[in-house]
Amino acid sequence: MANPYLDYLRLAHVLADAADNLSMDRFGAIDLQVSTKPDMTYVTESDQAVEDAIRQMLKSARGRDTVLGEEGGVTEGTSETGERRWIIDPIDGTSNFVRVVPVWATLIALEEAGEVVAGCVSAPALGRRWWAMKDGGAHTGKSFRNTREIRVSGVRELSAASMSFSSAPSWEDIGKGSEFQALLRQCWRTRAYGDFWSYMLLAEGAIDIAAEPELNVWDMAALDVIVREAGGKFTSLAGVDGPWGPNAVATNGRLHDSVMAYLGHFPDNPADGDPDLALVPNEPVEDPTPDNVRHIQFRHDD
């Protein structure tokens, strides 16, 4: 039986193709128009042009569906149920786009009945694209027909894990600065790849943990389904599955509880929850392994 979301995913690729053409046409332009929003984040003419184009195409192809975009907010569809909603981030990584750093992407997701069921992430300046649909696996390639399936890593210990994040100071803003630093000290390797890039590397098995303290649903929706279909886990800091919280923790699944022990929000009174999860060590735990050789499984073994 064909996957019921296949046609929606094909449409997401068509939308991404149009977005790529528009954004690449202005990437690096010396006359690029840039302004700031009330929250002091950048917005460019390309953000607006890409979202407008996607909205127009969806109006023609799927006029019954609701659309939520970063720049234009909500456009209600004509369906009485309102069951399907497209969630769009026209350019994720606008600060990179403005500074001519090639790490930015258009994020396109479809939500149905409260679950993200399809997602496409297109990063044309990197020449990369990733996509997934519910029960269809996660894939990467240059086109819908030129693809390979991707899976998260098989790493099981923080001491062997690679973690990526976007901004260290922003963890201070939510009162998790010391916990974040403690987690970094536990990991084998840490890098700030940032934005969508962290989560796509996670889905490919290149890194094992990605987390950000402050996000919106359009920043996460497409990433969520790709990570999950690659075998990983995607939650908020409160442990809610999916892109519905104000932040994100994504892992290969095996490491999720360990990461949440540092970054998750748990009851103030350990007696109200799991005391082991409420306590965060301040220093790395020494590995008791007696030999000098570590046998680390990087690939997924399911």
167 and 218 share one domain: yes
pTM of the predicted model, to two decimals?
0.86
Q: What's the mean pLDDT when you consider all of the chain?
A: 86
Final residue before a domain boundary, out of 121, 147, 173: 147
Q: Are 234 and 243 in contact (CB under 8 A)?
A: yes
The predicted-structure confidence for 13-27, as pLDDT tens digits, reads as follows 999 999 999 999 988
- Rounded Cα distance between 285 and 36, Å, is 44
Over residues 143-189, the pLDDT tens digits come to: 777 899 999 999 999 999 999 998 888 999 999 999 999 999 999 99
Q: What is the pLDDT of residue 184?
A: 97
Q: Domain holding 135: CATH number?
A: 3.30.540.10
- Same-domain check for residues 139 and 166: no
CB 196 within 8 A of CB 99: no
Nearest by Cα to 273 from 257, 285, 251: 257
Alpha carbon separation from 99 to 32, 80, 202, 276 (Å, rounded): 11, 43, 25, 44
Give pLDDT, residue 253.
97
Q: Mind listing the pLDDT tens digit for each residue in 37-48?
A: 565 466 778 889
Looking at the fold, whether 55 and 168 belong to one and the same domain comes out as no
pLDDT for 287 equals 41
User: Which pLDDT tens digit goes with each residue over 221-234?
Assistant: 999 999 999 999 99
Q: How many other β-carbons are positioned within 10 Å of the β-carbon of residue 47?
A: 23
Domain for residue 256, yes or no? yes
Q: Is residue 270's pLDDT more than 50?
A: no
pLDDT of residue 167: 83
* Residue 143 placed within a domain: yes
Say yes or no to pLDDT of 267 above 80: no
Answer yes or no: is 120 within a domain: yes
- Which range marks the domain in which residue 214 is found? 158-278
The tens digit of pLDDT for each residue in 41-75 reads: 667 788 899 999 999 999 999 999 999 999 999 98
